[in-house]
Amino acid sequence: MTQAYLLPVWRAQGRWPHTFRVSTEASVTSEGASTPESNPGGHAKKGMAALMLGALGVVFGDIGTSPLYSVQSVFNVDHNAVVANESDIYGVISWMFWALTIIVTIKYVLFVLRADNDGEGGIMALAALVRQGVPKGGKRWGIVMILGVIGASLFFGDSVITPAISVMSAIEGLETVHEGLTEYVVPIGATVITALFFIQQKGTDAVGKFFGPVMIVWFVTLAALGVNQIVRDPEIFRALLPTYAGSFVIGHPFIAFVAAGSIVLCVTGAEALYADMGHFGRAPITRAWFVLVFPALILNYMGQGSLILSDPKNISNPFFLLAPEWAKLPLVILATAATVIASQAVISGAFSVARQAERSGYLPRMTVRHTGEEEEGQIYIPGVNWVLFIGVITLLLAFRSSEKLAVAYGLAVTGTFLMTTTLFLVYAQSTLKWPKWRLAVLGFFLYLFEGIFFTANVAKLFHGGWLPVVIACGIGLSMLTWQKGRDIVARRRHDIEGPLDDFVRSARCGDLREVPGTAVFLHPDRTTTPLAMRENANFNHVIHENVFIVTTKSANVPHIAPEDTVVLDHLGNDYDRITHLTLRYGFQDDQDVPAALRIAADQGVDIDPDTAYYFVSEIGLIDAGRPGMSKLRKLLFMAMSHNAAVPADYFRLPKERTVMMGAQILL
């Protein structure tokens, strides 16, 4: 069933980019993918100090603010488990040190950050990278992307909780200044969160430059607070020995298991290091971690442990009690700024992961704005931004304290850890060709730590831990529904369109009038007839003298070099003036069709994209009760399709020369 209809082209909001954004300096492989060795991540050559400063302002906010609540959460009196004696304190601090060492330093910084997909990070980019090394169509081929979807969904669940708990934990420091300020904590938190999401459109480059100096002050302050306490009790350095962590577990395993659910909070934000890699590159993130972030975190955790050991009453808020009275209010202000930056880390990561999911076919087209003139990965996605904002504000107003949010925190983080570990080990085995002993050693330690943390957080499922699971399940269901729905629509659309050669033969024998000019039809393949072309022929009874059928393809790499963007196919002599062009893009490239056609013109294709008319096939979906998906999933798919970015805007088509025509498809 088809029905022709004309659709108005929506006006583009904001500035229409005219530059095809690709990695122009990288060398090119035989498949057109820029190689990371030549220009890692496609990043413009920029001062390392500037990139490190930007990375501090965007990447490390989440893990850098964990000292605000992680130690306090472990010794929370509601646990009735961990007590403020020497063995427990040393055991907890030792666990935190080795968790940071094994999960963050060894796993992410030394290994996972090297698994960059042409400079891009994040679990969806890793899944796409792994797919390049496993046999196509095999069991692992499908499982890899499912793991990526699960990990991405859990990351989004984490992205909703992190801003709420981070900001609340900082502003609650006002209670240590004056008890009467308690009633202002939630309103101030809501105001700070609102301001943060409103400035996202300025871009991570601008945000990073502003937040970078603040984070330098923050990490120096963390170290100074810790050192000030450590000099009074240097014995706390013994907690770095792994024997204390082992004794803590062996001495009372159940208590250690309960504590693990809160100890894991010290490594929250590790996944953001990987997800945000495309914004700044691996080298600046690695150097900033070893030079400043890691030492500052360890010193502060040891300082908090020493403070609690000196007086168990300090478990009420050990971070702020490290500071002298005169410094408490300035520390609250600084901590609030730092937690805003913590929120920035996961928001930026969410933008990157969402775009990778979209280009992998698991989310609908989204409006994406580049916010950095030099860095390809610096993007802003309004839809993702405002969905996160609504979720964060809702959580903040519902839970109203970081202590309650901490119970819900951790399950999504540890689940993402396990997905990333699994994908990396597959990558190391299939692509890097690691020997089995190396895989076994790394896998043992990672699964041991992350498995304990994950299991401990599963125990909190019915005490608030269900929240990130519900969020992740909703996002995962949406991603899998979109992917399945696209497949169903593609098959039914194929039946409606019919073979292109049949259309050409019938057009020659029919009464179509040839009109001057060039028509560009956007279409997903080269074998069937574009719906817009078929309906234009049926509706207007004309065909243009020059016809280009253009197919856009997303590769499993972030960027495609300009010279490898266009693939020309004349389709044979029987097609007269009909030419097929495939435009290849990386999943981080803007799909700017006119800009790509200018590249084609420069390469000798007889086309003028500035005078051509663009025809877009638009699909109308109707729930007709046909098999394939449940009714609920059909409604979800139709809602997602309705809210997808307008094709004319998405492909950067000139609105005055774009026509949308299409058909209805029954689901």
pLDDT in tens, 614-630: 988 877 888 877 888 88
Enter the tokens of residue 536. 């234009």
- 645 has a pLDDT exceeding 70: yes
268 and 61 Cβ atoms separated by less than 8 Å: no
- 39 has a pLDDT exceeding 50: no
Q: Which of 6-15, 555-564, 595-604 has the lowest mean pLDDT?
A: 6-15
- 27 has a pLDDT exceeding 70: no
SS3 320: helix
Whole-angstrom distance, CA of residue 54 vs CA of residue 71? 28
State the chain's maximal CA–CA distance in angstroms.
95
Per residue in 59-97, pLDDT tens?
Answer: 887 888 889 888 888 887 454 577 878 889 999 999 999
Q: Which of 167-176, 524-533, 575-584, 618-627 has the lowest mean pLDDT?
A: 167-176
Question: Once rounded to an integer, what is the mean pLDDT over residues 219-242?
Answer: 94
Question: Once rounded to an integer, what is the mean pLDDT over residues 509-529?
Answer: 83
Write down the pLDDT at residue 33: 35
Question: Once rounded to an integer, what is the mean pLDDT over residues 144-164?
Answer: 83
Write down the pLDDT at residue 531: 84
In which residue are the tokens 């979720």 written?
A: 391
315 compared with 298, residue with greater pLDDT:
298
Question: Once rounded to an integer, what is the mean pLDDT over residues 469-498?
Answer: 86
Q: State the average pLDDT for the chain.
A: 80
Q: Give percent helix, percent strand, percent coil of the chain, each to the nearest 5.
A: 65, 10, 25
Closest CA to 122 of 419, 468, 473: 419
Q: With cut-offs at 50, 70 and 90, classify the pLDDT of residue 572.
A: low
Whole-angstrom distance, CA of residue 136 vs CA of residue 132? 8
Question: Once rounded to an integer, what is the mean pLDDT over residues 654-658?
Answer: 87
Enter the tokens of residue 511. 């009464």
Whole-angstrom distance, CA of residue 655 vs CA of residue 63? 44
Percentage of residues in the chain with pLDDT exceeding 90?
A: 17
Question: Once rounded to an integer, what is the mean pLDDT over residues 589-612?
Answer: 87
- 409 has a pLDDT exceeding 70: yes
175 compared with 501, residue with greater pLDDT:
501
651 and 552 Cβ atoms separated by less than 8 Å: yes
Q: With cut-offs at 50, 70 and 90, classify the pLDDT of residue 204.
A: low
Q: Which of 204-213, 218-227, 438-447, 474-483 has the lowest mean pLDDT?
A: 204-213
Enter the tokens of residue 285. 């993130």
- 443 has a pLDDT exceeding 80: yes
Q: Which residues contact 121 (CB under 8 A, 6 or more apart)?
A: 112, 113, 273, 274, 275, 276, 277, 278, 352
Residues 603, 604, 607, 610, CA torsion sign: positive
438 and 88 Cβ atoms separated by less than 8 Å: no
Percentage of residues in the chain with pLDDT exceeding 70?
A: 85
Q: With cut-offs at 50, 70 and 90, classify the pLDDT of residue 40.
A: very low
Q: Which of 183-197, 236-250, 332-346, 515-529 has the lowest mean pLDDT?
A: 332-346
Question: Once rounded to an integer, what is the mean pLDDT over residues 142-168?
Answer: 82
Please provide the DSSP assignment of 181-209 as one string.
Answer: GGGGHHHHHHHHHHHHHHTGGG-HHHHHH
